[in-house]
Structure 1
């Protein structure tokens, strides 16, 4: 495990980033440094309630540990990173486990410290949610790296909260200081968006943090014709896994093909899990499915006859195959002896080579100019 030292005005933290190789990826950036500095200036000796929203790897939650912050995040990575990084810093108060959008915290909070997401619609959702938990005189500090701020972010802030000031940029990072606005989630039409797919009895909808929630992802589109023949070959009573499920479209189509199988849905995003639960309920398939909020496959999941996977190739601002490699390894570990994994990926990522590290047999099932679909088995 490689760790590095984050130094800020009132102390220092030893932090590591799960999944990082060598020293290539740090567990914090300049936006975390700016947010910590501004938060501590405003808190001083105050005793108000503090909330951290979408901390990445624990830098904000641990940096503000003296104020006993609550933390809520979409990603399951935070829980793993926070526990590990708290152990590396035993001299600071141990933080409470982070909450997710499946069980969000109740307000009011006097200070909310938030990482600005890359998606404009998720930012709009977050700001409206914050309005519902921010105290009357409370303050929101929202920060991010300038190159990762979503398009139209100025308009998104203006439409939801009252911007008090935009702090000077530092190390290519920006912090916005806001007060509570009038916009609320209850009357916002952007919470749920989706589309219809033949074979699924209800529109497939998702919350704003979910990838490709309002359109069928083109990689997923390439995989759809192979779902039915793959599901047709599994024994009755089979458990199928939709890994990195997003809105759950692959697993939903599997359920539509057979009424004698069950599907597990797993995703690192709690908004994805909430979206799948909504879609299962709309299709009346809750009794045939399990949803898991996890960074990969839960260790006690057992084995699967069929795993469906459209792996993400970006994590925050980092693009690459590091997430896919870990998911391939976990899929191999949880694949039944006669089981198969169906995988779609961008052609340039070269999955035909990386899959050989974990699977004995790999065959190309389909291809387009941009995407390739592989079947892998042990």
Structure 2
């Protein structure tokens, strides 16, 4: 796995976040290189105000911070942390960090964008760019060529302006757009909808997974959440819009709820939804975090988890593995981790390695999903998470 990005007589050491000793994925891709090479060929004079959208681990931010004033805007807590670590690692100039819910700064000279996986987030970002940028400000976006469809270009044309594309290079393509469309279309910040069969109303910001209806895994999980008057603290890890937190809170009104996600938009949505559906008097905490970083060991009774199996456009199971490891550390003796996932992901094997096969039970399953319960037993020797991943 390469950690040294060398281009145009510059070199940076770039690592993904969190740092793993067995990392096999790079902290940048050919799309980052394509943008860097293209902007270098433009002959951009120094001192420009550059807005970088969706910089995964800070490769673009590190590169351009040396000669320009950089603002990085991302919905990802992990991307923010990764970029900050890489900026510090390479002794780069400080940059401004913003979430996608923040306003776009004035006076931007150039926008660079990694096109997000979610079309809802892309539409939201394009709309914000059109309403904030001067018409002569170039926008250069990049993605894998196979991910740039006619519908993608239509979104740029509709919500931003005149759009063209480059030739493909290392399976990536650039999109060039200008904020000049005549009709500035307002895009709602969030969508609201009731959950079928539940006394719950949800409001989702643009980058929240399963934005306009409940994903099937979460819906299956709702039917199997525990009711236990002894529960004092419940953690919803990877909470999304907070649906599992809300239902668990309704079933266990005595429990304190902690909802955690790495998406700033998910955290904002979950906070709003929890307060709306459980009331502002409930003991609720909603946090943007990398899994359970900083959480005290042996501090909770139940962890709910509907793990993602991708990070941006990369399919990976290391996030789920970290969630399981962190959950085990946070659980009290005999505390429970409840996980829902696609059957083909074989989470039962991973949980058995971590908790012991005899402490992992299938609670429910259907043709697509399985719900697993893992119970912590402090009598077991604690395994080395890195060794058994």
Using the size of structure 1 for normalisation, the TM-score is 0.90
Residues 1:330 and 2:326 are matched in the alignment? yes
Q: Is the 8 A contact 1:111 1:134 kept in 2?
A: no
User: For 1:81, what is the secondary structure of its paired residue?
Assistant: helix
Question: What is the aligned-residue RMSD (CA, Å)?
Answer: 2.3
Q: Is the 8 A contact 1:14 1:88 kept in 2?
A: yes
Q: 1:36 to 1:257 in 2, by over 3 A?
A: same
After superposition, the C-alpha distances for 1:320-366 in whole angstroms (9 at most, x for unaligned) are 32111111001111112232111011111111110123224111100
**For residue 262 of structure 2, what is the aligned residue in structure 1?**
268
The whole-number CA distance in structure 1 between the counterparts of 2:229 and 2:128 is 43
User: For 2:109, what is the secondary structure of its paired residue?
Assistant: strand
Q: Is the 8 A contact 2:53 2:114 kept in 1?
A: yes
The whole-number CA distance in structure 2 between the counterparts of 1:239 and 1:211 is 25
1:4-153 → structure 2 map (5 Å cutoff): 4-18=3-17, 22=22, 24-42=24-42, 44-66=44-66, 67-90=68-91, 93-96=92-95, 98-149=97-148, 152-153=151-152
Cα deviation, residue 314, structure 1: 1.0
**For residue 355 of structure 2, what is the aligned residue in structure 1?**
359
User: For 1:325, what is the secondary structure of its paired residue?
Assistant: helix
Q: Is the 8 A contact 1:73 1:100 kept in 2?
A: yes
After superposition, the C-alpha distances for 1:145-173 in whole angstroms (9 at most, x for unaligned) are 12334671021111111135322221111
Q: Is the 8 A contact 1:14 1:89 kept in 2?
A: yes
Cα deviation, residue 35, structure 1: 1.4
**For residue 292 of structure 1, what is the aligned residue in structure 2?**
287
Cα deviation, residue 291, structure 1: 1.0
**For residue 255 of structure 1, what is the aligned residue in structure 2?**
249
**For residue 173 of structure 1, what is the aligned residue in structure 2?**
172
**For residue 342 of structure 1, what is the aligned residue in structure 2?**
338
Q: Where does structure 1 lack aligned partners over 5 or more consecutive residues?
A: none
Q: Between 188-197 and 75-84, report the one with greater CA deviation.
A: 188-197
User: For 1:57, what is the secondary structure of its paired residue?
Assistant: coil
Q: Between 11-20 and 267-276, report the one with greater CA deviation.
A: 11-20
User: For 1:70, what is the secondary structure of its paired residue?
Assistant: strand
User: For 2:113, what is the secondary structure of its paired residue?
Assistant: strand
1:184-203 → structure 2 map (5 Å cutoff): 184=184, 187-189=186-188, 191-201=190-200, 203=201
Cα deviation, residue 41, structure 1: 4.1
Q: Where does structure 2 lack aligned partners over 5 or more consecutive residues?
A: 377-389
The whole-number CA distance in structure 1 between the counterparts of 2:146 and 2:120 is 17
Q: Is the 8 A contact 2:249 2:278 kept in 1?
A: no
Using the size of structure 2 for normalisation, the TM-score is 0.87
After superposition, the C-alpha distances for 1:166-216 in whole angstroms (9 at most, x for unaligned) are 22221111111111145657x324742544244434x21212211112122
Q: Is the 8 A contact 1:241 1:304 kept in 2?
A: yes
Cα deviation, residue 62, structure 1: 0.4
The whole-number CA distance in structure 2 between the counterparts of 1:287 and 1:94 is 43
**For residue 380 of structure 2, what is the aligned residue in structure 1?**
none
The whole-number CA distance in structure 1 between the counterparts of 2:23 and 2:246 is 40
Cα deviation, residue 107, structure 1: 2.5
Q: 1:345 to 1:63 in 2, by over 3 A?
A: same
Q: Between 316-325 and 327-336, report the one with greater CA deviation.
A: 316-325
Q: Is the 8 A contact 1:78 1:98 kept in 2?
A: no
**For residue 308 of structure 1, what is the aligned residue in structure 2?**
304
The whole-number CA distance in structure 1 between the counterparts of 2:24 and 2:4 is 14
Kindly tell me the number of residue pairs found equivalent between the two proteins. 369
Q: Is the 8 A contact 1:148 1:317 kept in 2?
A: no
